[in-house]
């Protein structure tokens, strides 16, 4: 069981106003850190994620022989192992990070050595069979305990496969591509919903050839990677909390610059637009094929309308659904979420926890196995929130708390450190009281 250690009191706000530049994207930082540590040479990344998850990736890669220097705040220099990792002295601790565990497993399966990947209680509850299945199909020796971590890998030569992911998952896609990178022949991953493509873009940035079609990605191994210099775009999943906070106060104005706007990640902007938010995107730039820009939002005087998130949209918005659900009572017509069963196997059961915490704040909500219905036009009251040790739950309800009547206590608020240690101070900075 998770034990909450820190609490945060969130007072209601009148408005959201200001401009922010957000720390580096978690997904991209994982990939740049991991590939830099595997490549030949020294890579340098600015605006690298400050979250504990990316620190777990870097620590695992150091245990595998890479070296990591932090010359300044937000800057890291990673000297890679040149395609061949060292035998680590002990288990690789992935902490709370599913991305670390699933992606590194693919990197290690074709290497020489014995590797054990472990994680915290939350990560140990999460499904790992989804990576074991394709890796075993490639010939990997990988064992789990009843479908869960520890992940035990005895490295061996693999063969290329053509794999269709049963559940859309960028982590699983990446796992297979990282094994394919080191395996003779063409490894292909097919997906029914296009998941975030940071791995494909990052592999290309590091010099690999990756071929893409509408619904598949192929890599012809073996290939080597060379070091790069890159600035990590601001994290749009972190921006989601501020965008949603701005959205619930008519007249809010918020500007976010240097923000990652990769089309496979920016679906929230479409959904918020459909709810009535005015969004302009300026200064678009391409950084190693990642789109970066400035987002300016103004919240409508008439408040937010209603929306429904189902099908492919639910998969693409999966990390943003907790905060969308948390602000749904403040819309006029409510928000309906379906096809989001994956939420139940994230850092927590995010459907159960969102429902529980919305009810604690006095909201009416109907829970479904794969989503929820949150009616609009509801005024919430301050309450004690259980973060369940889940960063996105802690932050989502801090946003809902801004428009509640009375104060809200977020229990286990330190969970925000997993992806966004600066969250509470930045929220204080833009929330006008
Ligand atoms: C991620 C992929 C998603 C997402 C997670 C980060 C990634 O998980 O929820 O926060 O960086 O590839 P799945 O691959 O399980 O969908």
- For the segment 159-181, the average pLDDT, to the nearest whole number, is 98
Q: What is the mean pLDDT of the chain?
A: 97
Residue 96 makes CB contacts below 8 A (sequence gap 6+) with 52, 53, 56, 119, 120, 122, 123, 347, 389, 418
What is residue 5's predicted lDDT score, i.e. its pLDDT?
85
Token pair for residue 75? 């800057």
Q: Give me ligand 1 centre to Cα 22, in Å.
A: 19
Percent of the chain past pLDDT 90, that is, above it, reads 99
Percent of the chain past pLDDT 70, that is, above it, reads 99
| Cα–Cα distance measured from residue 241 to residue 239, given in angstroms and rounded to the nearest whole number | 5
411-426 pLDDT, tens per residue?
999 999 999 999 999 9
Side-chain half-sphere of 156: how many Cα atoms within 13 Å?
13
Token pair for residue 387? 């973060």
Q: How many CB atoms lie within 10 A of CB 280?
A: 11
How much helix, strand and coil, in percent to the nearest 5, is found in the chain?
Answer: 35, 30, 35
Q: Which atom of ligand 1 is nearest to the CA of 199?
A: 12
Query: To test the ligand 1 pocket, which listed residue (119, 170, 217) has its Cβ within 8 A of the most ligand atoms?
Result: 170
3-state secondary structure of 50: coil
| Cα–Cα distance measured from residue 61 to residue 35, given in angstroms and rounded to the nearest whole number | 10
Cβ–ligand 1 distance for 288 under 6 Å, the answer no
Query: To test the ligand 1 pocket, which listed residue (168, 318, 349, 392) has its Cβ within 8 A of the most ligand atoms?
Result: 318
Cβ–ligand 1 distance for 237 under 6 Å, the answer no
293-346 pLDDT, tens per residue?
999 999 999 999 999 999 999 999 999 999 999 999 999 999 999 999 999 999
Cβ–ligand 1 distance for 365 under 6 Å, the answer no
Burial string for 8-20 (b: 16+ CB within 10 Å, else e) reads bebeebebbbbeb
Q: How many CB atoms lie within 10 A of CB 232?
A: 29
- For the segment 91-105, the average pLDDT, to the nearest whole number, is 98
359-390 pLDDT, tens per residue?
999 999 999 999 999 999 999 999 999 999 99
Q: Give me ligand 1 centre to Cα 90, in Å.
A: 26
Q: Is a pLDDT exceeding 60 seen at residue 428?
A: yes
390: nearest Cα among 47, 114, 56, 98: 98
The 8 Å CB, 24+ separation contacts for 353-358 are 353/322, 353/386, 353/387, 353/388, 353/390, 353/393, 354/321, 354/322, 354/325, 354/326, 354/393, 354/396, 356/386, 357/326, 357/383, 357/385, 357/386, 357/393, 357/397, 357/400, 358/325, 358/326, 358/329, 358/400
Domains, the chain:
7-24+233-432 (3.65.10.10), 26-230 (3.65.10.10)
Q: Bridge partners of 77?
A: 44, 69
- For the segment 268-272, the average pLDDT, to the nearest whole number, is 98
- For the segment 119-142, the average pLDDT, to the nearest whole number, is 98
Cβ–ligand 1 distance for 171 under 6 Å, the answer yes
Q: Are 177 and 189 in contact (CB under 8 A)?
A: yes
| Cα–Cα distance measured from residue 176 to residue 162, given in angstroms and rounded to the nearest whole number | 10
| Cα–Cα distance measured from residue 267 to residue 48, given in angstroms and rounded to the nearest whole number | 23
12-49 pLDDT, tens per residue?
999 999 999 999 999 999 999 999 999 999 999 999 99
- For the segment 166-193, the average pLDDT, to the nearest whole number, is 98
Cβ–ligand 1 distance for 318 under 6 Å, the answer yes
Catalytic option among 25, 197, 319, 390 = 319
Per-residue pLDDT band at 118 (split at 50, 70, 90): very high
| Cα–Cα distance measured from residue 22 to residue 420, given in angstroms and rounded to the nearest whole number | 9
Query: To test the ligand 1 pocket, which listed residue (100, 106, 171) has its Cβ within 8 A of the most ligand atoms?
Result: 171
188-203 pLDDT, tens per residue?
999 999 999 999 999 9
What is residue 3's predicted lDDT score, i.e. its pLDDT?
57
Q: Residue 319 catalytic?
A: yes
The DSSP annotation for 207-272 comes to T--EEEETTEEEEEE----B--EEEPPB-HHHHHHHHHHHHTSTT-EEEEEEEE--TTTTHHHHHH
Q: Is a pLDDT exceeding 90 seen at residue 1?
A: no
């Amino acid at each position: 069981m998770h034990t909450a250690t820190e609490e945060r009191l969130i007072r209601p706000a009148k408005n959201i106003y200001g401009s922010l530049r957000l720390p580096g994207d978690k997904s991209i930082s994982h990939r740049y850190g991991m590939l830099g540590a595997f490549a030949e040479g020294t890579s340098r990344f600015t605006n690298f994620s400050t979250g504990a998850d990316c620190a777990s990736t870097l620590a695992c890669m150091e245990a595998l022989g890479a070296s990591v220097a932090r010359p300044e705040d937000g800057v890291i220099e990673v000297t890679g192992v040149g395609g061949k990792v060292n035998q680590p002295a002990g288990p690789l601790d992935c902490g709370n990070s599913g991305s670390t565990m699933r992606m590194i497993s693919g990197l290690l399966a074709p290497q020489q050595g014995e590797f054990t990947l472990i994680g915290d209680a939350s990560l140990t509850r999460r499904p790992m069979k989804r990576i074991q299945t394709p890796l075993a199909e490639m010939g990997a020796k990988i064992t789990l305990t009843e479908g869960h971590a520890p992940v035990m890998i005895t490295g061996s030569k693999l063969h290329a496969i053509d794999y269709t992911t049963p559940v859309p998952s960028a982590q699983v896609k990446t796992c297979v591509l990282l094994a394919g990178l080191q395996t003779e022949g063409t490894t292909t991953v097919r997906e029914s919903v296009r998941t975030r493509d940071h791995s494909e873009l990052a592999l290309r940035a590091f010099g690999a050839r990756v071929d893409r079609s509408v619904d598949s990605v192929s890599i012809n191994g073996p290939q080597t990677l060379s070091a790069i210099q890159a600035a990590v775009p601001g994290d749009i999943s972190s921006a989601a909390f501020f965008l949603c906070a701005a959205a619930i106060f008519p007249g809010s104005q918020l500007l976010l610059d240097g923000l990652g706007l990769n089309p496979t990640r920016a679906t929230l902007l479409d959904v918020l637009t459909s709810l009535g938010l005015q969004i302009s995107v300026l200064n678009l730039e391409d950084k190693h094929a990642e789109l970066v820009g400035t987002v300016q939002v103004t919240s409508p005087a008439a408040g937010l309308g209603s929306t429904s998130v189902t099908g492919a949209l639910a998969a693409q918005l999966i990390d943003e659904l907790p905060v969308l659900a948390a602000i749904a009572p403040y819309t006029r017509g409510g928000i309906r979420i379906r096809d989001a069963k994956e939420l139940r196997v994230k850092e927590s059961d995010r459907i159960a926890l969102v429902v529980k915490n919305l009810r604690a704040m006095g909201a009416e909500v109907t829970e479904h196995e794969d989503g929820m219905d949150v009616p609009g036009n509801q005024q919430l009251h301050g309450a004690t929130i259980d973060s369940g040790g889940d960063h996105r739950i802690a932050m989502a309800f801090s946003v809902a708390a801004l428009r509640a009547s009375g104060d809200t206590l977020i229990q286990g608020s330190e969970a925000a450190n997993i992806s966004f240690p600066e969250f509470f101070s930045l929220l204080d900075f833009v929330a006008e009281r």
